[in-house]
């Protein structure tokens, strides 16, 4: 559970057990050492840190609750494994339909065609966020036709970008504008269509007029969490990055990868690379820049388009991806803005890089992972209807979620990330809700208990009344009230005595004796209090009832000030927590 939640929610109010995770990631040891030296983190460190903060334990056995696995593991193992209902995995079975460059484009094209066939031309026209793409070698003839057509039209400057399908981090990518430039590639084994070893590539029309900032090209990395494809449930993280190239953009010089590729893996090898800054801007800074230059409306529109682009991307594969309640997936979208501020989707990553190159970066990604785990909600404390959880905003649940008309935002993407405040707030309201339902559960249990007791009493009564007179009967009624109260007392006692010494200490007795005429509720309070005292004495390290009460009392006051709780809930909450505050007073005495 998130540290914010732990602070407010009582252990007994949710299904609390020691959560265990399994980490299937493997990292080369020397890289890890390298990062350790710099006091920054690899994904391994980051995950461990994120899990540690939630007090989760790593396990090698089958008793895990959450699995953080590599994509390959999913392909190999998941089909043969039976998962328990509570187990969660960080990938969908066939996520490659979205995350492999060629399949993604194929699916988008197919979905667009379907929409056109259904007569939804307007929506189909929105699928214009990916550049003209061909699969090589299979679509080489069509690509060659297109290339020739453009050359005939006198457009010899249009550049194309070749990307190997199976590689990431900018490996094997090159740009060309003459067909001869790929002849070398063509002549190798790879081109042969019938060769099973042929390495698949995609060729894309290069976006030649990217938006430049400070004369440099950049792309954006934005995080999207999908918890379900049916209904499509998407959470968008407010913070992302703009990653800059370290060299000035030059349209003519297409051979210099430092100029054209923004991948951190590529830029790290550049001489100009500045470790301290990592060549990145926070999305908020980018938004600020764009707003200053282009004005608020234009930027709001652009960011809204980015959000819609992401929703549309997932909608296109919604029916293809095998939905599984055990799975969730964090996607890293790479998006490029052109000079007209139109967003273009470059690719979607199923395992977005979680390595961090600055302490701020480390903290941010730790927060991101923490929020992912909060949304996954292993502890089952959330309602599932929360519009914001940490830095994530719910943007789609079945259908895209529209913000109110009078809202100043069109999307929260790039807005101030108020995750810690928001988590505190949500933890407080969740604590209240859980305490409330717990109380309701208790009352029901009491009612059920007292009902059973009543029935028993009545049976006894009937038996007694048959032998004794009316006076006795009256006594019997009084007696039944007494016993009802007694039974209520027992229930509460029972609840609190699960791991405490039995009642009946001299002090407890004297307490009860001292207030013989008080009603049973008060008596039970007394008992509770004395138990608290004793539990405190016996288990001084344990998170005592009192301190929890103290916290909750404080929270009541805070929530009064913040007025984040509706009045009804507030009063109910006070009813629930009033007991705690009285206890506190007595303890102080």
Partner 1 sequence: MQQLDNQEILMKLKSQKQFWDIKKKVKQGFSDQQKIGINDIQKFAQSCEIEDQLIKLISHILKKSKKRETLKEDQIEFLNTSKIKWTELLFKNLDIVHQKAKNQEEDDTNTDSKLYIYDEKNLLAFLQTFKQQQPSVLYQNVQFQSNKLLNINIPLKSSQQILDKYQYILLQEELPEEKINKIRKSIENEHLDIELEKIAQTYVPNGERCLLYLKYFEFDHQETVLQQNFAKLQKECQNQLFIDELLEIDGHEISEDTFYFVFQEQILTCLKCFIRDKSIKENIRIQLQNGMKKEHAEFQLPVAGFFPFKNISKYVAPLCYLSTKIHIIYALFKEFFCRYFCFLHAISSEYNSILSLCMQIEEIVSTRSPKLFHHLKVIGCDTLKLIIHQLIYCFVGDMDPPHILTIYDQILGHDSLEILVILCVGFLNKYKPKLLLAKNYENVQQIFQELREDKFQELVQFAYKQ
- Of 216 and 464, nearer to partner 1 (C-beta) is 216
Terminal Cα distance for the chain, rounded = 35
Cα–chain-centroid distance for residue 243? 23
- Of 302 and 490, nearer to partner 1 (C-beta) is 302
Residue 502's Cβ-count burial label (10 Å; 0-12, 13-18, 19+) is exposed
Residue 123's Cβ-count burial label (10 Å; 0-12, 13-18, 19+) is middle
Minimum separation from the CB atom of position 288 to partner 1 (A): 6
Q: Taking the CA of residue 587 as centre, how many other CA atoms within 13 Å lie in the half-sphere pointing to its CB?
A: 23
- Of 82 and 276, nearer to partner 1 (C-beta) is 276
CA-to-CA distance for 267 and 259, rounded, in angstroms?
9
Cα–chain-centroid distance for residue 171? 30
- Of 245 and 526, nearer to partner 1 (C-beta) is 245
Minimum separation from the CB atom of position 15 to partner 1 (A): 39
CA-to-CA distance for 538 and 135, rounded, in angstroms?
70
- Of 414 and 476, nearer to partner 1 (C-beta) is 414
Minimum separation from the CB atom of position 416 to partner 1 (A): 11
- Of 72 and 274, nearer to partner 1 (C-beta) is 274
Whether 163 and 101 have beta carbons less than 8 Å apart is answered as yes
Whether 371 and 223 have beta carbons less than 8 Å apart is answered as no
- Of 289 and 438, nearer to partner 1 (C-beta) is 289
Give the count of beta carbons closer than 10 Å to the beta carbon of residue 380.
9
CA-to-CA distance for 531 and 67, rounded, in angstroms?
40
Minimum separation from the CB atom of position 338 to partner 1 (A): 13
- Of 173 and 213, nearer to partner 1 (C-beta) is 213
Cross-strand partners of 175: 161
Sole residue written with tokens 């979607």 = 348
CA-to-CA distance for 330 and 158, rounded, in angstroms?
34
CA-to-CA distance for 576 and 246, rounded, in angstroms?
59
- Of 124 and 212, nearer to partner 1 (C-beta) is 212
Minimum separation from the CB atom of position 45 to partner 1 (A): 24
Minimum separation from the CB atom of position 359 to partner 1 (A): 13
- Of 43 and 211, nearer to partner 1 (C-beta) is 211
CA-to-CA distance for 511 and 529, rounded, in angstroms?
10
What would the two tokens of residue 112 be? 């667009």
- Of 285 and 420, nearer to partner 1 (C-beta) is 285
DSSP track, 371-440: HHHHHHTTT--S-S--SEETTEEEEEESEEPPPPTT-S-S--TTS---HHHHHHHHHHHHHHHHHHHHHH
Torsion from C-alpha of 236, 103, 260, 266, nearest 10 degrees: 80
Minimum separation from the CB atom of position 214 to partner 1 (A): 4
- Give contact residues for partner 1 (rule: CB under 8 A): 211-216, 244, 248, 274, 276-277, 281-282, 285, 288-289, 291-296, 298
Minimum separation from the CB atom of position 248 to partner 1 (A): 7
Q: 3-state DSSP call for residue 122?
A: helix
Minimum separation from the CB atom of position 289 to partner 1 (A): 6
Residues with Cβ within 8 Å of residue 159, at least 6 apart in sequence = 175, 176, 177, 206, 208, 254
CA-to-CA distance for 549 and 537, rounded, in angstroms?
17
Minimum separation from the CB atom of position 353 to partner 1 (A): 20
Minimum separation from the CB atom of position 215 to partner 1 (A): 6
- Of 417 and 487, nearer to partner 1 (C-beta) is 417
Minimum separation from the CB atom of position 220 to partner 1 (A): 14
What would the two tokens of residue 242 be? 């703009």
Minimum separation from the CB atom of position 356 to partner 1 (A): 16
H/E run at residue 245: strand 241-248
Three-state SS annotation for 305-344: HHHHHHHHHHHHHCCCCCCCCCECEEEEEEEEEECCCCEE
- Of 335 and 576, nearer to partner 1 (C-beta) is 335
Q: What's phi and psi for 397, nearest 5 deg?
A: -140, 95
Minimum separation from the CB atom of position 558 to partner 1 (A): 24
- Of 112 and 260, nearer to partner 1 (C-beta) is 260
CA-to-CA distance for 306 and 344, rounded, in angstroms?
8
């Amino acid at each position: 559970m998130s540290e914010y939640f732990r602070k407010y929610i009582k252990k007994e109010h949710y299904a609390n057990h020691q959560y265990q995770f399994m980490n299937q990631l493997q990292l080369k040891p020397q890289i890890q050492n390298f990062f350790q030296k710099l006091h920054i983190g690899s994904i391994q460190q980051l995950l461990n840190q994120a899990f540690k903060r939630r007090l989760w334990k790593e396990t090698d056995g089958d008793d895990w609750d959450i699995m953080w696995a590599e994509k390959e593991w999913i392909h190999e193992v998941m089909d043969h494994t039976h998962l328990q209902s509570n187990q969660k995995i960080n990938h969908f079975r066939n996520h490659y339909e979205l995350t492999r460059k060629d399949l993604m484009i194929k699916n988008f094209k197919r979905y667009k065609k379907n929409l056109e066939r259904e007569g939804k031309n307007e929506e189909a026209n929105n699928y214009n966020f990916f550049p003209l793409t061909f699969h090589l070698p299979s679509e080489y003839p069509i690509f060659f036709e297109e290339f020739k057509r453009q050359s005939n039209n006198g457009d010899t400057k249009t550049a194309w970008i070749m990307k190997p399908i199976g590689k990431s981090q900018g490996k094997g990518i090159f740009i060309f504008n003459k067909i001869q430039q790929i002849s070398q590639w063509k002549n190798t084994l790879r081109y042969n269509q019938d060769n099973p070893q042929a390495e698949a590539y995609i060729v894309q029309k290069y976006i030649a007029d990217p938006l430049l900032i400070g004369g440099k090209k950049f792309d954006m990395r934005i995080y999207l969490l999908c918890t379900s494809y049916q209904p499509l449930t998407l959470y968008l993280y407010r913070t992302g990055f703009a990653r800059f190239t370290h060299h000035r953009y030059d349209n003519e010089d297409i051979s210099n990868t430092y100029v054209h590729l923004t991948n951190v893996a590529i830029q790290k090898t550049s001489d100009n690379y500045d470790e301290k800054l990592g060549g990145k801007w926070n999305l908020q800074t980018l938004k600020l820049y764009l707003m200053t230059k282009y004005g608020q409306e234009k930027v709001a529109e652009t960011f809204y388009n980015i959000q819609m682009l992401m929703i549309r991307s997932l909608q296109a594969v919604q029916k293809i991806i095998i939905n599984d309640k055990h799975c969730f997936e964090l996607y890293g979208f790479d998006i490029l803005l052109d000079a007209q501020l139109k967003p273009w989707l470059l690719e979607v990553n199923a395992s977005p890089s979680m390595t961090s190159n600055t302490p701020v970066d480390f903290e941010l990604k730790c927060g991101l992972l923490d929020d992912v785990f909060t949304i996954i909600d292993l502890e089952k404390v959330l309602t599932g209807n929360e519009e914001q959880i940490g830095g994530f905003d719910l943007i789609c649940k079945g259908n895209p979620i529209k913000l109110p008309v009078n809202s100043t935002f069109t999307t929260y993407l790039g807005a101030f990330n108020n995750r810690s405040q928001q988590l505190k707030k949500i933890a407080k309201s969740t604590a209240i809700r859980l305490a409330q339902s717990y109380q309701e559960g208790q009352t029901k249990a009491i009612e059920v208990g007292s009902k059973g007791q009543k029935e028993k009493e009545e049976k006894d009564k009937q038996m007694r009344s048959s032998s004794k007179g009316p006076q006795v009967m009256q006594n019997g009624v009084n007696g039944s009230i007494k016993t009802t109260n007694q039974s209520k007392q027992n229930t509460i006692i029972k609840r609190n005595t699960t791991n405490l010494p039995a009642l009946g200490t001299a002090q407890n007795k004297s307490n009860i004796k001292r207030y013989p005429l008080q009603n049973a509720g008060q008596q039970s309070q007394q008992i509770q209090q004395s138990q608290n005292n004793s539990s405190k004495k016996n288990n001084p390290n344990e998170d005592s009832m009192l301190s929890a009460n103290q916290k909750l009392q404080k929270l009541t006051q805070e929530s009064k000030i913040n007025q984040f709780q509706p009045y009804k809930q507030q009063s109910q909450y006070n009813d629930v927590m009033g007991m705690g505050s009285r206890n506190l007073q007595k303890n102080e005495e």
